[in-house]
Structure 1
Amino acid sequence: MTNTPRTWLITGVSSGFGRSLAQAVLARGERVIGTVRQAPQVVEFMMQAPGRSFAVRLDMTDSEAVTRELGAAIERAGGIDVLVNNAGYGMTGAVEEVSQAEARHQMETNFFGTLAAIQAALPFMRARRHGHILNFSSIAGIQGIPGMALYNASKFAVEGLSEGLAAELKDMGIKVSIVAPGSFRTAFAGRSILRAEREIAAYADTAGQVRHNIAHLDGTQAGDPDKAAQILIDLVDSPTPPLRLALGADSVATVRRKLHKLESELSAWEAVSNSTAFD
């Protein structure tokens, strides 16, 4: 832990990972700017640690407002040390079932909201040549899941954004870490997950089965978000944080399966892949 209390900006502090992390950070005597969606949540969060917990009410799909309001909040706080892009939601539905509006809302929240928050924080971090950005991905950002392809797309986008961003900032004293949690006991499988309005019978055994499984997962997940919160604080405290942190045994297993599949497929088709040069 640093000697000087840090200022964290955490999106989505009203529940789940965001709430657990904000509480853990505040318990250390540090400051948190937290985003919430509902007016009553503003007062609730600011009362957690008066003078150190600051709430900003935001719709993460309004990118211009996100950048403007978070920039103003950081200015009022006198700077920012850590940005945690946690806000987001999941959606189930086969690609054919998801409407354009549903797809765009998923991307606006999970990807463009993350981008807007980063763009709000970077001028302050660059000015001090210091900072750490944690972007929440998911095991769904590692491996495609039937019935969650749009959620996959939003998290794959966060992964690519984060890797490119890390390369851009590596000489500026600003660190970037991707957090890829598996199944944790948050509201993700409950009130925080949406279903595409349209259902097509042909996908009953794929997307339909995933919808069923998620509905029965809520409240039984193995992962403890409070333990995850402490791990994330330790990650920020580390002088050598990882670019990507698989969080949970199921996430580690997913990454290993994906690596094995990529290596196997690459090897099987390597000769073909290498045969494209001019003679």
Structure 2
Amino acid sequence: MTDSSVWFVTGAARGMGVDIARAALAAGHSVVATARDADRVRAALGEHDNLLALSLDITDEQAAQAAVDAAVERFGSIGVLVNNAGNFYAGSFEVISPAQFRAQMETNFFGPLNVTRAVLPVMRAQRSGHVITISSTAGLEGLDFCSAYASSKFALEGWMESLRYDVAPFGISTTIVDPGFFRTELLVTGASSIWPELVIDDYDERTRATVEAWKDMNGTQGGDPAKLAAALVTIAALDEPPLRFLAGADAVDAAERKANLLLAQADAHRALSSSLGFDGSAA
């Protein structure tokens, strides 16, 4: 990639998306910054010659295509896509309504698919590009009170791990970003966090306690989103960007914990697992 590129960033009206857009602009890149309301993007980022603020609901396929068309019309190309937009439907599985669970998948999983499907023809034509998708440590290991969120992130990671094989022949790189706890607006009620709709007595006490704990955590997370944004600019400039970037010491811990668990599970019943093949020729 050249020293200057065009970045397409979703969820750029608040939280980590604002920091990513700022870091890319500061590095001399052009930025297409999208969110549901372009006015909020402009309010967060201000005016900049190399900035195009667009309204985009990532769950709308046609809106994604229109935003990509506008980006190419303005800047002529898209070098880096950052799938950052997302939200958090918190709660134990039984108290998250089916509608909430589907809404979680629409935003966190199908939303990035919509945007990437619109961007890839541009990158294929260029024979270059980089798709960066913000996942979570909840995409590495299941967590309490996160059944819907973790499901959306596990799906996202499976898609990204497979996508790299599809697009590598066209000079397109992919990177999964697994942040730990960063001081963003993810835990702000009504902005990014949505609490359970259903009430089941067996879960009531734990639900109340966990919701309060999540709320109390907001604003005290250890990770600095501005530093993560700067790290993404560094990664995007590499000739061989990583397939996965673990963002934060807690993310490194989570990855090591999951890797060790998988190794232990592989070894726990190795003989039984390895005994399941046909004996001799199949009939």
TM-score, reference length from structure 2:
0.92
> C-alpha separation between the residues in 1 aligned to 2:206 and 2:159?
29
1:160 corresponds in structure 2 to 158
Aligned to 2:15: 16
Q: Which runs of 4+ in 1 moved over 2 A?
A: 42-48, 67-77, 203-213
Aligned to 2:233: 233
2:274 paired residue number? 274
State the partner residue of 1:130: 128
**Amino acid of the residue matched to residue 41 of structure 1?**
R
Which stretch shows the higher mean deviation, 267-276 or 129-138? Answer: 267-276
Task: Report the 3-state secondary structure (helix = DSSP H, G, I; strand = E; otherwise coil) of the residue aligned with 1:170.
Answer: helix
Deviations 1:201-224 (A, max 9, x none): 323565554423211110100000
Residue in 2 aligned with 1:144?
Answer: 142
Partners of 1:118 and 1:20 in 2: CA distance: 21
Match of 1:171, SS? helix
Aligned partners of 2:38 and 2:54 also within 8 Å: no
Report how many residues are paired.
277
Report the aligned-residue RMSD.
1.8
**Structure 2 residue 243 is the aligned partner of structure 1 residue 243:** yes
- Compute the displacement of 1:32 (Å): 0.4
- After TM superposition, give the deviation of residue 261 of structure 1 in Å: 0.8
Deviation at 1:45, TM superposition (A): 5.7
Structure 1 residues 8-52: Cα deviation after superposition (integer angstroms, max 9, x where no partner): 000011111110010111112211001122253254367431x31
Cα distance between partner residues in 2 of 1:41 and 1:179 = 25
Q: CA deviation at 1:97?
A: 1.0
Secondary structure at the aligned position of 1:216 is classed as helix
One-letter code aligned to 2:187: A
Q: Structure 1 214/46 Cα, relative in aligned 2: closer, same or farther at 3 Å?
A: closer
The letter of the residue matching 1:240 is E
Equivalent residues in 2 for 1:191-230 (5 A)? 191-204=191-204, 208-230=208-230
Unaligned runs of at least 5 residues, structure 1: none
Flag structure 2 segments of 5+ consecutive residues without an equivalent.
Answer: none
d(CA) in 2 for partners of 1:90, 1:195: 8
The separation in 2 between residues aligned to 1:69 and 1:228, in whole angstroms, is 25
CA drift of 1:65 comes to 2.1
Task: Please tell me whether the aligned partners of residues 87 and 193 of structure 2 are also in contact (alpha carbons under 8 angstroms).
Answer: yes
SS in 1 for 2:93: coil
* Contact residue 131 and residue 175 of structure 1 kept, 8 A: yes
Change in Cα spacing, 1:54 to 1:46, as seen in structure 2 (3 Å) is: farther
Distance 1:42 1:21 in 2: 12
Deviations 1:61-101 (A, max 9, x none): 22332233323433432110000000001111111111121
TM-score, structure 1 normalization: 0.93
Percent identity over the alignment is 40
